[in-house]
Amino acid sequence: MSQIRRIVTAMPENSETPLDDLHGWNTPTNRFFVRNHFAVPCIDLTTWQLTITGCVANPMQWTYEKLIEAPERSLFATIECAGNGRSFLQPRAAGVQWGAGAVANAEWTGIPLHLLLKQAGLRPEAVELLFQGADYGREDGHPHTMHFARSLPLGKAMHPDTLLATHMNGEPLQPNHGFPLRLLVPGWYGVANVKWLHRIEVLNHPFHGYFQSTKYTVADPSSTRRHIVRGGLIKSEILGPGPGRLLVPGPVRISGLAWSGEKPVALVEVSTDGGRQFSPATLIGPQAPYSWVMWEYHWEAARPGSYKLLSRAVSQDGMVQPREHETHYEGYQVHYSRAVTVVVQASSP
């Protein structure tokens, strides 16, 4: 039987999508990975409000009723957790030990953020927007109780595809996906897509909160600075055949997914000899901005033996999926080509 989600940690819920059991491009909501830092907050819609404060001409409160009557927009976007694939790293990196499945694709519907910001009237000194979730608690190694909070630069916040999402796959958000409202930042790692969003503050200075400047940052190899995890990197996964699969000589369909943050995937290549030679795969199924693409490659497995399969994706802006983990990313942005070893046995006599 197929698994709905694989639980990685139970409290708070961190669970991932069993990628090898996907049929189709759009991930059903009950299979969409969950990455939560604190317990799911209790929301009372009768008193719930979204507030917009800070460097604005008109501070505002929006009720849920008013939000869902606003002009809405729908788009598909793949969201990947910045720590996805962490469990494959050697040596082990700190953090939730995700397999390959903290990534999924869904349709998101909501009001474009820039329409609200126009009504609020950004003042000229605005440089960033801070998004606060209703979820709060304590993180190991940090002394204070805090809300989950992240900021966006003005440019991405004002992009017409950045949404205050009320619906996921045509239904109101589920509680573990941020009901009643989450930020949808297409092409960026999941951490930017603040769930249970209830407060937006327009800042005249950069934000340096725990989830912005301590967690979810990567080293800069050429300086002592650290960078914030932002747009997604080029990546592909082989979904079939699975690791260790026994095959017989003959045609083998190698299939998988590829995604690339804000830019489309241009090309996926497949190697059946551990990365010496690569041949282009065929992109199949639906294609849309910000969304993963399915691919397949027909391999003629001629001789018995052990084979190391690899996929390698290239984005339309020329990013190439690396062969090894970039170690300065530590436990984040794990996007190297991970080999799948299969065994071709002699045909049955």
Q: Which residues bind its own copies (CB under 8 A)?
A: 22-28, 31, 68, 71-76, 107-109, 166-167, 169-172, 253, 255, 284-286, 288, 294, 296
d(CA 89, CA 83): 11
Nearer to its own copies, 22 or 122 (CB): 22
Q: List the beta bridge partners of residue 299.
A: 252
Nearer to its own copies, 21 or 317 (CB): 21
Q: Smallest gap, in angstroms, from Cβ of residue 98 to its own copies? A: 21
Nearer to its own copies, 105 or 272 (CB): 105
Q: Smallest gap, in angstroms, from Cβ of residue 122 to its own copies? A: 21
Q: Smallest gap, in angstroms, from Cβ of residue 87 to its own copies? A: 25
Nearer to its own copies, 172 or 275 (CB): 172
Q: How many helices (H) and strands (E) does the chain have?
A: 3, 24
Nearer to its own copies, 71 or 221 (CB): 71
d(CA 138, CA 52): 25
Q: Smallest gap, in angstroms, from Cβ of residue 2 to its own copies? A: 9
DSSP-derived secondary structure for 190-228: GGGS-SSEEEEEEESS----IIIIISSEEE-TTSS-EEE
Strand order in the sheet with 6-9: 6-9, 14-16, 34-35
Cβ(89)–Cβ(331) under 8 Å?
A: yes
Q: Smallest gap, in angstroms, from Cβ of residue 71 to its own copies? A: 5
DSSP-derived secondary structure for 28-77: PGGGS-EE-SSPPPP--TTT--EEEEESBSS-EEE-HHHHHHS--EEEEE
DSSP-derived secondary structure for 105-174: EEEEEEEEHHHHHHHH-B-TT--EEEEEEEEEE--TT--S-EEEEEEEEHHHHTSTT-EEEEEETTEEPP
Nearer to its own copies, 137 or 172 (CB): 172
Q: Smallest gap, in angstroms, from Cβ of residue 213 to its own copies? A: 35
Q: Smallest gap, in angstroms, from Cβ of residue 159 to its own copies? A: 15
Nearer to its own copies, 76 or 211 (CB): 76
